[in-house]
Amino acid sequence: MNKAKRILIVDDEEVNRELLEAFVTSLGHEAETACDGMEAIAKIKLDFDLVLMDIMMPGMDGYETTRQIRKDQDYGELPIIMTTALTNKYDRLRAVEAGANDYISKPVEKNELRVRMTSLLKLKEAQDALKRHKAELEEKVRKRTEQLRKSLEISIEAERQTHEAHIETINRLVVAAEYKDEDTANHIKRMSNYSALLARRLHLPSNEPEIIRLASPMHDVGKIGTPDNILFKPGKHTPEEWEIMKQHATFGGRILNGSSSELLQAGEIIALSHHEEWDGSGYPKGLAGEKIPLFGRICAVADVFDALTSKRPYKEAFSIDKSLDIMKEGRGKHFEPRLLDLFLENLDEVLVIQEEYRDG
């Protein structure tokens, strides 16, 4: 405690103020005086390390002055020593209740004042050091948190850009397939939203409807490998041509195979299984029932509905009623009954999607 401390002396008698000021300065500290409680409350804001407070003062006595000082949380730990000629136990208790840390009887003896002041000033110094340390830690935590927040924002933005780039790459892949068939520009939008609708109505985990919406546009990406004369043939395919046509499911699976991307993995499943049929008569593997992946079963319903209700090189668009009649005939054969029924139950929403992405 080498640094001089600032002491506020509060006493209504000048002789007492001068005596205490002389004691304080002789102990190596700086002294400031106040002649009453009002002046003390005003001066307390000048940053003191300890207050010597007389009790018996006219107007606002030492008890009330101390209580007023303690009301301000900034001075809750400021040491206050009360000085008075009163010596009974009741007065001491009142001093403590008002918020005083110690009590000295008048006439004040210099050595006693030194001992009591030194003890409280050491405590105040330790408390101040703890506050400074706490403030320094809080500032370090604030700066560290700010740095972490900035790093997190950068990381989130990088993740967002990576995800968007990933989706864009998938879209570009789908666009490449669209160049092979100009009639499918809105087909993939309708089909993917039909599929997502079914996934939501099945109450699949919250991320899966979005996965199927983003992955289902890749269902026919294998058509990149289908010869144009077969893909665009206006009439019925020969058995040989049909076998070549069916290979697009396998081609799609090969194109999307081996990726660590959840979307591309889902796209591979859909490409390989959306032409499988519930009774096992589909292709390329002839899977039946629940051996067909759920995403493939969902996309089969969505894909066929859109194919029936859309114009193709080999046919005109069928009406909604005729398309639904055809699909109902395929219940339990081409389509899983549960999924077809669910599709029909939500036909109003299906038609909203169809209108939103209607071909120009």
Q: pLDDT per residue over 213-268, tens digit each?
A: 989 988 888 888 888 888 878 778 899 999 999 999 999 899 888 888 888 899 99
Does 84 map to a domain?
yes
Amino acid, single-letter form, for residue 176? A
Cα 30 from Cα 60, distance rounded (Å): 25
Q: What is the CATH number of the domain that holds 56?
A: 3.40.50.2300
Q: Indicate whether 312 pLDDT > 80.
A: no
Q: What average pLDDT does this structure show over 32-40?
A: 94
183 shares a domain with 128? no
- Asked whether residue 263 falls in the same domain as residue 123, the answer is no
**Does the pLDDT value for residue 41 go beyond 90?**
yes
Is the pLDDT score of 161 beyond 80? no
Query: What is the structure's pLDDT at 91?
Result: 79
Token pair, residue 351, equals 């038609």
145: in domain: no
**So what's the pLDDT on residue 182?**
52
The total domain count for the chain is 2
- Rounded to whole angstroms, how far apart are CA atoms 127 and 206? 53
Quote the tokens at residue 30: 């700086």
pLDDT tens digits for 293-308?
Answer: 999 999 999 999 999 9
pLDDT value at 195 more than 90: yes
Does pLDDT of 171 surpass 80? no
Please check whether residues 108 and 245 belong to one and the same domain.
Answer: no
Would you say residue 28 lies in a domain? yes
Query: 1, 69, 3: which is closest to 34 by C-alpha?
Result: 69
Amino acid at the residue 189? K
Structural tokens at position 306: 């859109």
Task: Tell me which of 99, 132, 165 is where a domain ends.
Answer: 132
What is the distance between the alpha carbons of residues 232 and 220, in angstroms, rounded to a whole number? 14
Q: Which domain holds residue 53?
A: 6-132
Share of the chain above pLDDT 70, in %: 94
Has residue 151 been placed in a domain? no
Burial state string for 176-203 with b = 16 or more CB within 10 A and e = fewer than 16: ebbebbeebebbbbbbbbbbbbbbbeee
Find the CATH number of the domain harbouring 194: 1.10.3210.10
Please indicate, yes or no, if residue 144 is contained in any of the structural domains: no
Among 63, 98, 132, identify where a domain stops. Answer: 132
Residues 44 and 126 in one domain: yes
Higher pLDDT, 147 or 290: 290
Q: Which of 132, 164, 188 is the last residue of a domain?
A: 132
Model pTM above 0.75 = no
**Same domain for 72 and 210?**
no
Beginning with the edge strand found earlier in the chain, give each strand of the sheet holding 80-84 in spatial order.
30-34, 6-10, 50-54, 80-84, 102-105
**99-138 CB burial, b ≥16 within 10 A, e <16:** bbbbbbebebeeeebeebbeebbeebeeeeeeeeeeeeee
Question: CA–CA separation, 267 vs 289, rounded Å?
Answer: 20
Q: Residue 163 falls within a domain, yes or no?
A: no
- Report the pLDDT value the prediction gives residue 74, as an integer from 0 to 100: 86
**Same domain flag for 98 and 240:** no
Residues with Cβ < 8 Å from 150, sequence gap 6 or more?
A: none
Same structural domain for residues 127 and 193?
Answer: no
* 312 bridge partner residues: 315
pLDDT value of residue 231:
82
Q: Are residues 104 and 201 in the same domain?
A: no
Whether 314 shows a pLDDT value over 80: the answer reads no
Structure tokens at 231: 């893909």
Whether 242 contacts 196, CB under 8 Å: no
Pseudo-torsion of CA 104, 110, 111, 115, nearest 10°? Answer: 50
How far CA 65 is from CA of 10, 21, 55, 94, 335, in Å, comes to 10, 20, 9, 13, 88
Q: What is the pLDDT of residues 107-117, one digit of tens each?
A: 889 999 999 99
Tens digit of pLDDT for each residue in 85-108?
A: 776 778 778 888 888 999 888 888
Question: Is pLDDT above 70 for 185?
Answer: no
- Whether 296 and 188 map to the same domain: the answer is yes
Cβ atoms of residues 211 and 263 within 8 Å: yes
Give dist(CA 121, CA 52) in Å, integer: 12
Angle (CA) 195-197-200 rounded to 5° is 110
